[in-house]
Amino acid sequence: MNLEDKFGREHNYLRVSLTDRCNLKCIYCNPMGKVSQKLNRNELLSFDELKRLIRIFLSEFGIKKIRLTGGEPLLRKDSDKFIRSIGELKTLYGFELALTTNGTILKNYLPALKLYGVDRLNISLDSLKPLNYNYITGCNDSHLSNSLKYVIDSIKIAETMNFKELKINTVILKGINDNEVIDFVNFIKNRDITLRFIEYMPFGDNEWMKDRFICTDEIIEKIKKYFDLEKENDCYGSVAETYRISNFKGKVGFISPISSHFCKSCNRLRIKANGKMKLCLFSSSSKEEIDLKGYLRDPSLTDSDIKQVIMSSVLNKEKEHAPIDELLKLKNSSMLNTGG
Ligand code: SAM
């Protein structure tokens, strides 16, 4: 059965946050470490609860793609065992398994991720210069100060491992890393990687600054001064506009939730680490954040009851998210708590 909302959008992509904790304090996500990351064990969905929920989505709604994210998903204890257990469901339900990570503890996990069935790997990387990387990510701790090299090494290893898709996510901030756009494009010249520039978005606690915002069109203009971009046909539900560059192995994509939102083809739902299902990345009302944990922990409710809750909640999904001025006024949860 399709999980449709009242605007006929089919939801076949589930993003699941494994934890609200992260070892980085990126200035656009968790400036100065101000976002609270304190879900205790009981507030987190346990791996058994998460697996039950994922099974319901797969068996009842034919979900086609599951992305594990966070916080930093690999920080959660036994995340690899959990990933294996989700990977084992692939033969039964035929879906794609994806992971988004900041790459700072990725290297040792790579063989297991491949073995356990991760198809798509997104690595977040916002600078290729050590000082700027450390500034953006708030990597002042001595054990993290070498992170950029570690992340790039991990990308190089991942490239050799035949993941179905390897992507780099980059948030460009005016005056901070916009002078690295061309360096990033050159970085994927000989790499089978899709580089995606994501527009800087406002969330609760991220102290969004208009002056730092740079829209996709401006980034495209910068790139066009040096390279010819050839647009690819993007598939339904894809949030990025993707371009090829002649003589390049890699591709460049742009995610523009602020300058041109893609609500019309939204096919995604999010499960926060605390077990709330978010209908839209920017939703803030309780109507759009459904506490599935409570239902999962009610012993009188069956999988079929939970299926009904999910179906009727999705019918409340708004047609589109509010414009930027409104978003700034909302008390939306942080990206760390939501799972980006
Ligand atoms: N820790 C993992 C990582 O860094 O990839 C997963 C979680 S992180 C919240 C997921 C993605 O959200 C990252 O690519 C990050 O750059 C992006 N992100 C976080 N805050 C953002 C913001 N304010 N605007 C745009 N993208 C943001």
Alpha-carbon span 161 to 106, nearest angstrom: 13
Q: For residue 195, give the CATH number of its domain.
A: 3.20.20.70
Question: Residue 72: CB within 6 Å of ligand 1?
Answer: yes
> Which atom of ligand 1 lies at the shortest distance from residue 202's CA?
23
Strands 289-291, 276-278: pairing kind? antiparallel
Residue among 169, 208, 261 whose CB has most ligand 1 atoms within 8 A, to mutate: 169
pLDDT for residue 236: 64
Is 176 part of a structural domain of the chain?
A: yes
Domain count, the chain: 1
pTM score of the predicted model: 0.96
Residue 239 counted as domain residue: yes
Pocket of ligand 1 contains residue 14 by CB under 6 Å: no
pLDDT digits (tens, 9 = 90+) for 112-159: 999 999 999 999 999 999 999 999 999 876 666 689 999 999 999 999
Closest approach atom of ligand 1 to CA 69: 6
Which distant-in-sequence residues (6+ apart) come within 8 Å of 4 by Cβ? 10, 11, 314
Residue nearest to atom 19 of ligand 1 (CA): 29
Stretch 53-65: mean pLDDT: 97
Residue 70 CB–ligand 1 contact under 6 Å? yes
Tell me how crowded residue 108 is: count the other CB atoms within 10 A of its CB. Answer: 10
Binned at pLDDT 50, 70 and 90, residue 33 comes out as: confident
Q: Is the pLDDT of residue 12 over 80?
A: yes
Which amino acid is it at 127? Answer: S
Is the model more confident about 295 or about 336? 295
Structure tokens at 181: 């756009």
The pLDDT value recorded for residue 142 is: 62
pLDDT (average), residues 286-297:
91
Instruction: Supply the residue whose CA is at minimum distance from atom 4 of ligand 1.
Output: 102
In a domain, 7, yes or no: no
Beta-bridge partner residues of 234: none
pLDDT value for 25: 94
Separation of CA 218 and ligand 1 centre (Å): 21
Alpha carbon distance 37, 24 (integer Å): 12
Is the distance from the beta carbon of residue 170 to the nearest atom of ligand 1 less than 6 Å?
no
Q: Residue 255 is part of which domain span?
A: 13-338
Give the position, in ligand 1's atom list, of the atom nearest the Cα of 72.
1
Find how far residue 322's CA is from the centre of its chain: 20
pLDDT at 37 over 80: no
Q: Is residue 8 part of a domain?
A: no
How far away, in angstroms, is 203 Cα from ligand 1 center? 11
The answer, yes or no, to whether any atom of ligand 1 lies below 6 A from the CB of 134, is: no
pLDDT digits (tens, 9 = 90+) for 182-227: 999 999 999 999 999 999 999 877 889 999 999 999 999 999 999 9
The confidence score (pLDDT) of residue 336 equals 75
Q: What is the mean pLDDT of residues 318-334?
A: 80
Q: Does residue 332 line the site of ligand 1, with CB under 6 A? A: no
Which alpha helices (H) appear in 90-211, and where do they start and end? 90-93, 110-115, 130-137, 147-159, 181-187
Atom of ligand 1 nearest to the CA of 126: 16
Pocket-testing residue among 17, 198, 207, 333, ligand 1, by greatest number of atoms within 8 A of Cβ: 198
Does residue 2 form part of some domain? no
Q: Is 203 in the pocket of ligand 1 (CB under 6 A)?
A: yes
